[in-house]
Amino acid sequence: MSLTHHRTQVAIVGAGPSGLLLGALLHRAGIDALIVERQSADYVLSRIRAGVLEQTTVDLLDAAGVGERMHREGLVHGGFELCFGGARHRIDMHGLTGGKQVMVYGQTEVTRDLMTARAAAALPTIYEAADVRLHDFDGEHPRVTFRRDGVEHTIACDFIAGCDGYHGISRASVPAGAIRTYEKVYPFGWLGVLSDTPPVSHELIYSNHERGFALCSMRSPVRSRYYVQCSLEDKVEQWSDDAFWDELRRRLDPAAAASLVTGPSIEKSIAPLRSFVAEPMRFGRLCLAGDAAHIVPPTGAKGLNLAAADVAYLSRALIDWYGGDRASIDQYSARCLRRVWRAERFSWWFTTLMHKFPDNGEFGQKMQAAELDYLVSSHAASTAMAENYVGLPIA
């Protein structure tokens, strides 16, 4: 079997949005990066993910030079609605946070824009890399090895960025005694449907209902994304389109239920919910970013945004390192984790507030109702929620 050697400054493992964004930011700073991905490009693009971008994420995509289509096609939202007790209540993010807002633009589209820009700049991305392994990241000469088309490849680099997700090799390569994990698994999942139908509302609706949580979201003015809380034992095959639409209607206020436009699903899936954090996020010359280091339940729309914040911190640290400031990289993990845990707290709190928990009972439901009532009645409580939803600053 033949052997090929590569040399780069930063080896990025994973060609999802976090790996691609890191590569784009480093390229604009004159730093070489080679991206290795075990899946095909088509597979990466086929993954259906979140679509709410914080302002900080929008700014990062602009800084990477890939924001043009996002600003042209994305939907700017200045608020969202909480539905409970049969009525909707709007949280005015724009007014409560001094003009901040979010952008609804699908993660698939973010990935596509980053892929297109990387290809246009003739930057190297290696897809369908098998048996990816990380070596010697506890010293000054880390390596990444992989196999492709019968050829063994070795990448010599200064740093490895682990952007390969929860199930990737990067976190798994860290010695067990060097990492600590924290996890909460929620006792339900989300059944999600994507449909080419106009959204039921021009802003997102988060619904707390005695039958369970529901979310009305969108990808464009003609494509909608809807979710209902379901049992972890449920199977997608058990849910016909008609059954899904009927259940969604039951969990909405009368006006939304009456105006809901239904149609055939173009994607349907069930996702479990978990909170997960791995500490620290740096091990010598290996830095974890995004889902490789943390997972949040999707209720607060923080997954992609947290990954982008990690990339912001990591790109700054690497740019500083190559600029002669060797101390900045030492702060990478602590800076990330402070923001990560705040986002974990918000996502856990919002999930706890909006979902039906099997063990909560009637008292738990009353507590949810009281907190929701306080949340929409108190300017201070509404402001705190809006501040967290639009995204905390990247300090």
- pLDDT recorded at residue 48: 67
- Active-site residue identified among 302, 313, 355, 356: 302
Q: Cα torsion at 120, 290, 51, 132 (round to 10°)?
A: 50
Alpha helices by DSSP H, the chain: 17-28, 41-46, 55-63, 68-73, 93-96, 107-120, 169-172, 241-250, 254-259, 303-322, 332-354, 361-377, 379-390
- pLDDT recorded at residue 50: 72
- pLDDT recorded at residue 47: 77
The whole model's pTM is what? 0.94
- Active-site residue identified among 17, 100, 105, 206: 206
CB atoms within 10 A of CB 363: 8
- Active-site residue identified among 17, 77, 105, 142: 77
User: Catalytic residue at 77?
Assistant: yes
- Active-site residue identified among 186, 227, 332, 389: 389
Q: Does residue 13 contact residue 19 with C-beta atoms inside 8 Å?
A: yes
- pLDDT recorded at residue 1: 42
Task: Give the CATH number of domain 3-75+103-182+274-350.
Answer: 3.50.50.60
| N-term to C-term CA, the chain | 48
The candidate with the shortest Cα–Cα distance to 171, out of 306, 325, 97, 281, is 281
- Active-site residue identified among 17, 142, 297, 298: 298
Q: Does residue 205 contact residue 88 with C-beta atoms inside 8 Å?
A: yes
Render each residue's pLDDT in the chain as its tens digit; 395 residues.
456 899 999 999 999 999 999 999 999 999 999 999 999 999 998 876 778 999 999 999 999 999 999 999 999 999 999 999 999 999 999 999 999 999 999 899 999 999 999 999 999 999 999 999 999 999 999 999 999 988 999 999 999 999 999 999 999 999 999 999 999 999 999 999 999 999 999 999 999 999 999 999 998 899 999 999 999 999 999 999 999 999 999 999 999 999 999 999 999 999 999 999 999 999 999 999 999 999 999 999 999 999 999 999 999 999 999 999 999 999 999 999 999 999 999 999 999 999 999 888 899 999 999 999 999 999 999 999 999 999 999 98
Q: Does residue 125 contact residue 118 with C-beta atoms inside 8 Å?
A: yes
At 8, is the secondary structure helix, strand, or coil? coil
- pLDDT recorded at residue 3: 64
The candidate with the shortest Cα–Cα distance to 276, out of 256, 303, 259, 296, is 296
User: Catalytic residue at 6?
Assistant: no
User: Catalytic residue at 206?
Assistant: yes
CB atoms within 10 A of CB 149: 8
User: Catalytic residue at 43?
Assistant: no
